Structure formats: C-alpha cells, structure tokens
Structure 1
Amino acid sequence: MNEENINEIVEKVFQKAKSICSKKSKHALSKHIAESTFVSSRTIERLYDKYLDKKEGVGEQNEHTINVLCQYLGYDSYADYVKQNGLYTTISNVEAQKNDKSKVGKDDYRIWKVLAVVSLIVVVGLILGLSEKHKETLCMTWKTDHFEKVACVAGTNESIIPLDEVRLRNFRKVEVDLITDFFDETTQMPLIWYYKSGGKMEYYTAPGKHPINGKTLKEITEHMVDTYVPLHTYKKNSFVE
C-alpha cells in the first residue's frame, strides 16, 4: 500500500470524525472512530501520531485496518478507494527492498550464467586447440634406423607418412649376428625381415615396406642366415664362445 494514500485516508477519517463528534481531542476522535469501525482506539491513536502528528518510530498498519478505515469513508476497500479517486498504488518500502533483492539476485544469476557460458566456450576452445595441436603430429618420418613422430606439414625434404603407432613402436633397422634370435623358439616364425640390394643386406624387426624405397621386405630364412649373417659384429657380446 502507498504511504501517501494511507496518509490521505487517515486525514479524511479524522476530518469525518471531527464533523460528527462534538469533542475534537485525539482521544475523543479515536474513540469515536474505534466505535464505528471496531478497530481499537489505541490503533487509531497510533495512526493519528504517525500521519497527523508525524511522529517517528510508529510501526506500519496492517492491510485490514486500512480497508476498514476506507469502509468508514464509504468505500468497499482500499482498492476501491484508490480506483474511485484515480490514484496509483506503489509498493511499500519493504516490498521495494524485496524486489530490489530479487532484481539483484536475477542480475547475479545472469552474470553467473554469462560467466558459465564464457567458461564453457574457453574450455571447448582449449580442447579443440589441443586436438588441432595433436593432429599436427599425426605423421611420422624415417630417421636412420627408426620412425619418429613429426608434424604433418607439406613442403619439407623428409618423406612423411601417416602415423602408424604399431609400426612406430615395433619397426626398427638392426644389426644382426649369429646370436640374434631370428626365429620364435615355439612357433619357428621369423622375427627378422630383410632387404637385399647389390649384395648388401639390411635387417628389420617387423614386416612391411622398406622405409626409403617402399619395396616389400622379405622374411628371414635359415639359408639367408647361413649365407649372409656374419659370425659376429664388432660388439663384445656378439662373439661366439
């Protein structure tokens, strides 16, 4: 309820009481109004103190009391009084504070919502960025005796092929001698593959294509071991006792 409207209603109530009651004191007028409205005279006196004498510290009146005073003036209710007098209702200070808090709460919610969206965008961006960075290394190139991961960048002098994790881990060029394990002890399947060119032998730890010229490697045989594998290399552990 609007405080200005209530002030006006209280003034009109006491003006009406003065026109009817022979005694004009606050107590007499309050008693007359109380008898006509069934609102306690003490409540009426507090209204007088607050709105006519402008005393501080007087509490707010409840809606029922104001509706009864409007009925004393000939209206159905406070709403009817406002409507017939062309007044506008405004919210009370308490309601205003509640609405302000509610507004602040909504503003805070909007801010947190925006921050959450921004954070999500940043996280997704980082994930995509890392993914793109990862994609840059999804290739490999041959380095002397093994494959290494490299960025899939065109225009380099190196021969770059798509990354094969199994081949990256298992494919090596090795030196062999008579103590090398050429065959699996259980299955007798080959453990070494070779490439022969002009009488020169190269040995690898896995089947597939030659890392430089792309020719298919051949699996080792006992004949090739007997014919081409040296008795030892110049490593101490390669000598046969």
Structure 2
Amino acid sequence: MENWIQTLMESVFKKVDKQSIELTTSGKSKYLSLIIEERYGFLLSDRNISRYYTGYITGETKKIRPNKATLNILSLYLGYHSFEDFVRKNETREDMSLRKFTDKIRNLHIKVWISFGINVILCCTLLFCISRYYRKNCMVWMNDHYEKIRCSGLEYETILNEDVLRKFKKNPDHR
C-alpha cells in the first residue's frame, strides 16, 4: 500500500510540475490546493500538501499517510475514479499475481488460525468430558478395605469419603 501511495504522490507532483509555473514547495502546494478546491470542492490544505511533498518526494521529513478521501481526490486529480482505480490501472501483471498470492496466503493464515482455535476448543471439551466421566467419585468395599471407583450404580458402592477410604480397613487379626 505504501508503495502505491508513493507512486500516487510522484504522479501528482509530476503533473503539478507540468501545469504550474511555481518552483517552490509552498507555491506548488498552494496551486494544487486551489485546483482541488475549484474542481472538486474538496478542501485540502496547502500545508498538508507541503508535508506530502517533503515526505514522499524530497524525503526531508517523515512520510505522513494521507486518509482515504485525500487519496481518492488526488487520484481524481490524475484522472482516475478513485485510489483503488489508480492502483488497478497501474498494476502490472506481476503486481496482480503478487497481490492475489498474498491474499491467498492471508486467507490461508486466517483459516489455519480458525481451525487451530476450533481444535483447541474441541480438545479442551473432550478432555473435560473424559475427566468428568472417569472421575472416581465413589468407593466400594473390597475384601478388607475400600477402593475408589467411578460411580456406576453398583449395589454396594457409596459416595466417596476420603477419611473413610484412608482409615477404614479390616484388621487382619480379626476373623
């Protein structure tokens, strides 16, 4: 996207250089601001235009990214319907192929993350259900002691009581 903004700015200021007799950045910016206001009724300050010029053309300052409306108006000034139209009509086959490829990669990344998220949720749900199913919440008397078991409705099973499970054992000497 940044490359396209750079290309747009270069094209705009080449056209300004051809149409205007102004030589200074300030003069070119005022000229472009007036043209845009007269032709399209869009207020674009000459200060912003100067910032675009010094950022994108001379590289003297940091680039300030224009908003979508500004990009559309500057594209309109060049004879395009919108910034998207500017990009579409100036794209080479390599650019189109690269854009389609990156779109496919982006969509693939999204699908991978979504499927990963779904799988994590399914695995957690499955582990939760399994742990609940196999939890040993009951106990049953086995010969001389109680043993933990999974509640299953057996006749002699009782609800798990940890104290009874640990302490209650049949004395081996007692017959």
**TM-score normalised by the chain length of structure 1:** 0.43
Deviations 1:84-130 (A, max 9, x none): 22366999xxxxxxx9xxx6xx949945x545533443343344435
Q: What does residue 7 of structure 2 align with?
A: 8
**1:1-241 residue pairs with structure 2 within 5 A?**
2-38=1-37, 39-86=44-91, 107=113, 110-111=116-117, 114-130=119-135
How far did residue 164 of structure 1 move? 5.2
8 Å contact 2:16–2:28 — kept in the other structure? yes
DSSP 3-state at the match of 1:61: coil
DSSP 3-state at the match of 2:59: coil
Q: Which amino acid aligns with 2:8?
A: I
Q: Which has the higher strand share?
A: 1
Aligned equivalents of 2:123 and 2:116: distance in 1? 12
Q: CA RMSD in A?
A: 4.0
- The structure with the largest alpha-carbon Rg is 1
How far did residue 48 of structure 1 move? 0.1
Aligned equivalents of 1:45 and 1:117: distance in 2? 56
Gaps of 5+ in 1: 92-98, 151-162, 166-241
Q: Which amino acid aligns with 2:58?
A: D
Q: Which has the higher helix share?
A: 2
Aligned equivalents of 1:42 and 1:81: distance in 2? 24
How far did residue 22 of structure 1 move? 1.9
8 Å contact 2:16–2:32 — kept in the other structure? yes
Aligned equivalents of 2:155 and 2:69: distance in 1? 84
Distance 1:53 1:134, change over 3 A: same
